[in-house]
């Protein structure tokens, strides 16, 4: 689980900022490890597409990055109940490995 952000204004309702379940209609709003925290451009149904911190383009397949308004990274919650700040500059392969359930990867990363 990782941090995501909401649009700044209520009038800019954007589903990417809501914490939703895994119903098929909501899969486009869950973060994934395709891009590093705050990296890339979300491909989604964009409403708040004028917010610098929520870059988005409409299209498919849909994807969304972990996002925050913090300088340098975003918080992530791990299965052992620890919360860590993950830098935007984390190696993409390491970030993707952290997002797997049982890939068996060994991650070498200095958590901040």
Q: Give 41-50 pLDDT, tens digit per residue.
A: 888 767 766 7
Strands (E), the chain: 42-44, 56-58, 73-77, 83-87
Mean pLDDT over 75-95 rounds to: 91
How would residue 91 be classed by pLDDT, with cut points 50, 70 and 90?
Answer: very high
Higher-scoring residue by pLDDT: 20, 110:
110
Q: How many residues does the chain have?
A: 112
pLDDT of residue 63: 82
Tokens of 53: 């911190």
Higher-scoring residue by pLDDT: 27, 63:
63
Higher-scoring residue by pLDDT: 52, 85:
85
List of long-range contacts for 49-56, beta carbons under 8 Å, 24+ apart = 50/12, 51/7, 51/8, 51/12, 53/5, 54/5, 54/7, 54/14, 54/16, 54/17, 56/14, 56/16
How would residue 75 be classed by pLDDT, with cut points 50, 70 and 90?
Answer: very high
pLDDT over 90 at 37, yes or no: yes
Percentage of the residues of the chain whose pLDDT score is greater than 70: 76
């Amino acid at each position: 689980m990782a941090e995501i952000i909401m649009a700044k204004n209520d009038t800019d309702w954007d589903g990417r900022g809501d914490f939703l379940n895994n119903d098929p209609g909501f899969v486009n709003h869950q973060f994934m490890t395709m891009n590093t925290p705050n990296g890339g451009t979300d491909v989604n149904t964009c409403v708040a597409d004028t917010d610098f911190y929520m870059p988005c383009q409409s299209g498919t397949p849909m994807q969304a990055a972990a996002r925050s308004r913090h300088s340098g990274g975003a918080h992530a919650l791990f299965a052992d109940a620890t919360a860590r700040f993950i830098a935007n500059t984390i190696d993409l392969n390491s970030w993707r490995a952290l997002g797997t359930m049982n890939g068996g990867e060994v991650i070498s990363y200095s958590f901040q």
